[in-house]
Every structure is written in C-alpha cells, then in structure tokens.
Amino acid sequence: MVLDKSTRNLWAAALVAAVTVAGAVTTVVAHEPAYPEVNIPGLTGWVGPAAPEASPNAPGAEWSLDAAATYDRQFAVFRKPGSGGGFDSGEPGFVDAGDVLVTMIGLVNQETSGLDETRLVGVDADTGTVRWATPVESLGGCAGALAAGRLVCYTTPFEGAPVLLAVDTETGSVTRTATDWTILALTVADDWLYVMEGDPESDDIRVHSGVPTDPDARWSQRFDLGSAWEDAFGHLMSTDHGQGVLELGGEVAGFDLATGRPTFTRTLPDCTQSARATEGGVVVRVRSDCSLSRVLGSEAVDRTGRVIATSGVEAVHTLDIDHPTDTTVPVLLGDGAYDRTTGELRWTSPDLVSTPHVNTPESYGPNATQGTAFAVVGDVALLRDIEGRTRAAVDLRTGERLWRRDSDAYGTVIAAEGDTVVVLESDTLRAENARSGEELWSLPLQTVIDDDSWGSTPVVAASDTRLVYMTSGSMVGLSSAE
C-alpha cells in the first residue's frame, strides 16, 4: 500500500515538527573516498586557558571519524540508522553489530527535512576503520538488533512499493525484498524479525514474524488498534524481555512472540500513556486520561495478560536503563515495589515520588506528582527528585535508602555494568558507583573533540566493546576506563 499525497503530508508535518534540522546542503563535485584512509587517530580537543580537565582514570579517544571526510562532502552528517532517513531526526547514532558499528551518513535537505544520498557505513569497533559504505534508498527505519547476522531496514512508503533491506554487516552487501506493506515498525528478537504494518486510520494493524527475505514465514496476526496517521510514528512496537508490545494512539496490545497470539488489549476509553516490558516479560502500563497528559495510575501485566499488581499513585518512573539482576528483584509502580511473579507489595517509600512545591496545572501540568526512579541497575534504583534537588539510591529488595545528596544535575544513564553506571550530563560523561554514590571518573567531552557540530545534541552509546561518542560531525571510540 502506497500512502496518498494527503496522508503523506499529514505524516510529514507531524514528523517535521518533532525533528531538528542539523545541517545545510550545498552543491559540490562528489567522488568516492578511499575508505581505509578516512580514520583520524589524532585529536587535540578543547584548547584555551579555561579548558576543562578529565579525571586521570577517565577513558580517552582511541579513534575517530569525521563525517565530511568519510563521505567526502562538506556538509555530510552522521545519523542513527533506526530513525530512518525519510525525515531527518537530527540524532546521530549507530547499531551495534559486534565488531562492526553500523551508522548512517547523508546530506540534510532543508526543503524536505530529509537526508539525501544516504549511505550505511560499517565502522570497525576496535580501530575506527571504515570497512564498507553502501548507498541505500530513503530509509523509514532499521531494527536495533541483527536478524541472522543481518541489519534489517525498510524504505519509506511515500514513493513506490516499500522494500525490506537485509544488510550483511561484515561486507555491506544488501538483499532487497519487495513488499506491498506500509511498514510502521521493525524489531528483532532471538534472530526473528517482527514487522508491524497496516492502516492505523482503519484500525487495521498487522504484525508478522519471519526472516528478512520471508518476513511472514512464521506467523501473521491482526490487531484492532488505530490512530491518526500523524500519530503513527515513534515508539510503536517492542519485543524486549520475551514479550511483544504494540502502542498506537493511546491503545496498547501485548502478544506472544512465538505464535503472535494476543495476550492483552487496552483500547479506548481505557487509554495508555506508555507500556514497557521489563525482566520476566512483565509489562508496566501507565494508565492515562485520553488526552494522554494526566496519569491515572499504573499496572503490571504478566506474560499471560493477567494483571498482577496495580497502583493508583499518579507517578511514572521513566527509566533510562532497566537492568534488574533477575526476576527476584521487584518492579516499581508508583510509590511501591511489587513482586514480579505474584504481584505482592514488598515495600513503599516516599523517596519514589516527588511533589511540586507549587502544584498548579499552569506551572506543572496536570500531574501533581512525579516518579523519581530513572535507572534500575542490579538491585539498586537510582532516584532523581527535580523539585527537591536531590539524587538518591534505594535497595530494591528492602526499600532502604542507600545514599542521598543535594544535586541539580540532570543526566541520562547510557551504560551500566555491575554497580557502575555511566551518565551523560550535558557535555560531560561521568561514572559512579550506584550503590555508594561515589564518583569514579569524569570526562568533559570537549576534552575529547571539539567540532563544528558541538551545537547539536551529543550522543554517547555503549557497544559490546566500548563507549562511542557522536555528534553530527564526529564519531569517537573511547578507551576502557580504569
């Protein structure tokens, strides 16, 4: 199915409003670069009398790539493959393929808010050497994990029949499979491909499971979910923790990954703000009024669709990382922690909820309270109370507060291993011990590299082997910290 012009314009308007154009377009003579020579090992970073300093044991740059040099075009930019190229998300990034990191590079078209002449690029994770670069059509998105060693992407549905692309991450070769589906989302779990497609305005959504060259080989299942086209973008499907979850226009459905069988459905007027699977296949669903602004509470749903716990506390925990040790660690709902199997309430704590000092809708919106948990690492939850200007941690097994300190810092946890978490705070990367709160090292990113893209939002992501720092113009592989 090909989108008609009016539908395309609605979808385009919604997406353009949500992205930031991060470059400009010019006309120059293009020629293919000599890819093995693109790597730039030497970096000077920030210079000047007010130069920030990194901790002695902080990671340093081991290799880097420059977008313009890699592409051999002045205004080339790095982008995250999963966000597609039909509309420019403005977000750099990569897909981790083990010893290869796959990023996307192209030229920003300010008239269409998309990327022109896009390429997928395979970068050696250890050396930063460009192994391959493959021109691709305008992408609608890519899966965040590999299926049978292939990165699977799909083209935008705006021009002609969509195509599924299976990219060999070792060589860059592409296998194309034509389809008549209007693809909305693509995920991978246990080497199986999952495709969400259909017409949301007709409440006609289908999910297929198979392999890249035969995407419905295993099963197909229809779901009565719907929304306006302009709402059919963003986080629509997940297959994490052995549980399938669809989210569309305030409606949500769960499905069995092996068979496609629906496990639960919540449709209007029982609206859903968000639904995420966690350890044990438990889905935490946030209930909302149908404007999707006021939180009404939350519930935990098991693999069978059974509601095992509910909370009427109007507080949502938005987790950057959700890595509990195992299913014996309780799940957080509102101000309490609940057993992941039985739903038994283990403990409650006021530390899990923040209340605005001045509680008016004009100042803080419709929600009187906010959840404070922003990361689960092992059996520790990290808490951030923006109103109280504090950071803290609690033991998830007992509810005991482990530490608390005054802090105005606001960052995103991008990696965790053992008790160590790595947090990106504005332009600084920090590591701390989650259980003790001790800072382990600090790395101002401008000590690593300072480029013309510093005005864009920097991204730091973890691969299997290292942390990788990216802006629109640069990609830097960081060494392991001590």
Give per-residue pLDDT as tens, 293-316: 789 999 999 999 999 999 999 999
DSSP code, position 22: -
The answer to whether 469 and 458 have CB atoms below 8 angstroms apart is yes
Band of pLDDT at residue 388, cut at 50, 70 and 90: confident
Positive or negative, the CA dihedral 87, 119, 453, 83 is positive
Per-residue pLDDT, 86: 62
DSSP 3-state of 460: strand
Q: What is the mean pLDDT of residues 126-155?
A: 92
The answer to whether 206 and 197 have CB atoms below 8 angstroms apart is yes
Neighbours of 26 (CB within 10 A): 9
Per-residue pLDDT, 83: 72
Burial level of 381, CB count in 10 A (0-12/13-18/19+)?
A: buried
Burial level of 314, CB count in 10 A (0-12/13-18/19+)?
A: buried
Looking from the CA of 310 toward its CB, the CA atoms found within 13 Å total: 6
d(CA 157, CA 2): 6
All structural domains of the chain, each given as residue ranges with its CATH number in brackets, are 269-408 (2.40.128.630)
pLDDT tens track for 403-412: 999 988 888 9
Preceding omega of 212 cis (within 30 degrees of 0): no
The answer to whether 429 and 460 have CB atoms below 8 angstroms apart is yes
DSSP code, position 35: G
393: nearest Cα among 349, 334, 435 = 435
The answer to whether 187 and 239 have CB atoms below 8 angstroms apart is yes
Residue 177 corresponds to which tokens in the numbers above? 């499979």
Q: What is the mean pLDDT of residues 373-382?
A: 97
Looking from the CA of 284 toward its CB, the CA atoms found within 13 Å total: 21
Q: What are phi and psi of 339, to 5 degrees?
A: -60, 135
pLDDT tens track for 250-292: 999 999 999 999 999 999 899 999 999 999 999 999 999 888 7
Preceding omega of 59 cis (within 30 degrees of 0): no
Which among 195-199, 355-359, 447-451 has the top mean pLDDT? 195-199
Q: What is the mean pLDDT of residues 360-372?
A: 69
Q: Pick the more confident residue, 319 or 109.
A: 319
pLDDT tens track for 223-256: 999 888 777 777 899 999 999 999 998 999 999 9
Per-residue pLDDT, 355: 79
Neighbours of 361 (CB within 10 A): 11
The answer to whether 272 and 266 have CB atoms below 8 angstroms apart is yes
